[in-house]
Amino acid sequence: MNAYAILVGLLVLAYAGDALRPAGKRALGLSSGTEFLLVGILLGPLGLGAVTRAALDALSPLTLVAASWLALLAGSHLGFADERRVPRGRLTIGFVVGVVAFGACMLVAFFAAPALLPLEPDERLYLALGLGCAGSETARAAMVWGASRAQGRGPLHEAFADLAEADDIVPLLGLAVLFAVGPQPEGAVLRGQPLWALALTVGLGVVLGAITAALTRVEARSTERWGILLGAGLLAIGLAMRLGLAAPATLFVMGAALNLLARDGEALRGMLGATVRPVLLPVVALAGAHLDLRDGRGLGLVVGLVLLARLAVKASAGALLRRHLGISVTPTRWMGLGLMASGGITICVGLTAAARFPGPVGRVILAACLAAVALGELLGTPLLRRELRLAGEAQGVDTPAEARPAEGP
Partner 1 sequence: MSAAAPAKSWGARGVQAAVLLATVSLVLGSKQSIPVAPGVLAAISALGLLLLAGTLASELVEVVGLPHLSGYLLAGILVGPHVLNLVEHQTVEELGALNALALALIALAGGAELRLDALRKAARSLVWAHLLQTFLVLLAVAGAFLALARFIPFLDGMAPVAAVMVALLWGVLATSRSPAAVLGLLAQIRPKGPLTNMTVAFVMSSDVVVILLLAVTLAVARLGFDPSATLDLSAFSAVGHELLGSAALGTTLGLVLAVYLRLSGRGLMLVLLALGLPMSALLKYIHLDPLLSFMVAGFVVQNFSSGGERLLHSIEKTGAIVFVVFFATAGAHLDLPLLGRIWPIALGLAGVRMVATMVAARAASRLAGDEPVLKRWGWSGLVSQAGLALGLATVIVRAFPEFGDGFRTLSIAVIGVNEMIGPVLFKLGLDRAGESKRAIDESGAG
Which residues make up the interface to partner 1 (CB under 8 A)? 4-5, 7-8, 11-12, 14-15, 18-19, 22, 61-62, 65, 188-189, 207, 211, 214-215, 217-224, 226-228, 230-239, 241-243, 278
Please name which of 408, 386, 407 lies closest in space to residue 152, comparing C-alpha atoms: 386
Residue 7 vs 378, nearer CB to partner 1: 7
List Cα–Cα distances, 341 to 160, 180, 399, in angstroms.
Answer: 11, 28, 20
In angstroms, what is the minimal distance from the CB of 18 to partner 1?
5
Secondary structure element (H or E) that encloses residue 84, with its range: strand 84-85
Shortest separation between residue 15's beta carbon and partner 1, angstroms: 4
Give min distance, CB of 203 to partner 1, in A: 11
Task: List alpha helices for 274-359, DSSP H.
Answer: 276-290, 296-321, 344-356
Compare residues 60 and 332 and give the one whose CB is closer to partner 1.
60
Q: How far apart are CA 357 and CA 364, in angstroms?
A: 10
Q: Which is nearer to partner 1, 48 or 188 (CB)?
A: 188
| Least Å from the CB of residue 23 to partner 1 | 8
Q: Residue 282 or residue 376: which is nearer to partner 1 going by CB?
A: 282
The CA distance from 331 to 335, in Å, is: 6
Residue 177 · residue 153 · CB < 8 Å: no
- State which amino acid sits at residue 196: W
Q: Which is nearer to partner 1, 4 or 111 (CB)?
A: 4
Residue 212 Cβ vs partner 1, minimum distance, rounded to whole Å? 9
Nearer to partner 1, 103 or 231 (CB): 231
Report how far residue 229's alpha carbon sits from residue 33's, in angstroms, rounded to the nearest whole number: 26
Q: Which is nearer to partner 1, 212 or 381 (CB)?
A: 212
CB of 123 to partner 1, least distance (A): 24
> Cβ(319)–Cβ(333) under 8 Å?
yes
Closest CA to 68 of 265, 235, 270: 235
Rounded-to-integer distance, Cα 117 and Cα 109, Å: 11
Burial class (CB in 10 A: 0-12, 13-18, 19+), 8: exposed
- DSSP single-letter state for residue 136: S
Taking the complex as a whole, the smallest distance from the CB of residue 283 to partner 1 amounts, in Å, to 15
d(CA 376, CA 335): 13
Minimum CB distance to partner 1 smaller for 163 or for 254: 254
CA 39/CA 408 separation, integer angstroms = 23
**Shortest approach of partner 1 to residue 141 CB, angstroms?**
19
What does the alpha-carbon distance between residue 177 and residue 174 come to, in Å, rounded to a whole number? 5
